Amino acid sequence: MPELFTWEFASDPYPAYAWLREHAPVHRTTLPSGVEAWLVTRYADARQALADQRLSKNPEHHDEPSHAKGKTGIPGERKAELMTHLLNIDPPDHTRLRRLVSKAFTPRRVAEFAPRVQELTDDLIDRFAAKGEADLIHDFAFPLPIYAICDLLGVPREDQDDFRDWAGMMIRHGGGPRGGVARAVKKIRAYLVDLIHRKRAALDEGADDLISGLIRASDHGEHLTENEAAAMCFVLLLAGFETTINLIGNGTYSLLRNPDQFDRLTDSLARGDDAFLDTALEELLRYDGPVELATWRFATQPLQIGGQDIAKGDPVLVVLAAANRDPARFDDPDVLDLSRGTNPHLGYGHGIHYCLGAPLARLEARTALATLLARLPDLHLAADPADLRWRGGLIMRGLRNLPVAFTPE
Rounded to the nearest angstrom, the gap between the alpha carbon of residue 88 and the centroid of all alpha carbons in its chain is 15
Determine, following the binding rule CB under 6 A, whether residue 391 of this chain makes contact with ligand HEM: no
DSSP 75: G
**Position of minimal CB gap to ligand HEM:** 357
E strands, 324-400, in order: 380-381
| Position among 240, 249, 251, 333 found at the interface with ligand HEM (CB under 6 A) | 240
Examine residue 188 and tell whether it contacts ligand HEM (CB under 6 A).
Answer: no
Q: Should residue 243 be labelled a site residue for ligand HEM when binding is judged by CB under 6 A?
A: yes
Q: Least CB distance from residue 340 to ligand HEM, whole Å?
A: 17
- In the window 34-53, what residues touch ligand HEM (CB under 6 A)? 50
3-state secondary structure of 32: coil
Residue 402 or residue 406: which is nearer to ligand HEM going by CB?
A: 402
Residue 236 within binding range of ligand HEM, rule CB under 6 A: yes
Give the distance, in angstroms, between the CA of residue 381 and the centroid of all CA atoms in the same chain.
24
For residues 344 and 408, which CB has a smaller minimum distance to ligand HEM in the complex?
344
The yes or no reply on residue 402 touching ligand HEM (CB under 6 A) is no
| CB neighbour list of residue 280: distance below 8 Å, 6 or more residues apart | 261, 264, 265, 268, 338, 339
Q: Is 291 in the site for ligand HEM (CB under 6 A)?
A: yes
By beta-carbon proximity to ligand HEM, the closer residue of 199 and 397 is 397
Among 290, 315, 333, 398, binds ligand HEM (CB under 6 A): 290
Helix axes 259-270, 274-288, angle to 10 degrees: 150
User: Three-class SS of residue 303?
Assistant: strand
Rounded distance between C-alpha atoms, residue 385 and residue 11, angstroms:
9
Binding mask 320-359 for ligand HEM (x = CB under 6 A): ---------------------------xxx---x-xxx--
Binding status of residue 87 toward ligand HEM by CB under 6 A: yes
User: Are the CB atoms for 265 and 251 separated by under 8 Å?
Assistant: no
Phi, psi of 213 (to 5 degrees): -65, -40
Closest contact distance (angstroms) between CB of 289 and ligand HEM is 5
| Least distance (Å) between residue 348 CB and ligand HEM | 5
Name 25's Cβ contacts closer than 8 Å, sequence gap at least 6: 40, 41, 42, 45, 306, 308
Taking CB under 6 A as the rule, does residue 239 contact ligand HEM?
yes
- Residue of 73, 249, 251, 289 interacting with ligand HEM (CB under 6 A): 289
Give φ, ψ of 251 to 5 degrees.
-65, -50
d(CA 383, CA 404): 7
User: Of 32, 12, 34, which is closest to residue 394 (Cα–Cα)?
Assistant: 32
- What gap in Å lies between CA 43 and CA 49, rounded to an integer? 10
Nearer of residues 83 and 294 to ligand HEM, judged by Cβ: 294
Give the one residue of 40, 214, 247, 281 binding ligand HEM; rule: CB under 6 A.
Answer: 247
The residue ranges that bind ligand HEM (CB under 6 A) are: 50, 86-87, 98, 149, 235-236, 239-240, 243-244, 247, 289-291, 294-295, 347-349, 353, 355-357, 360-361
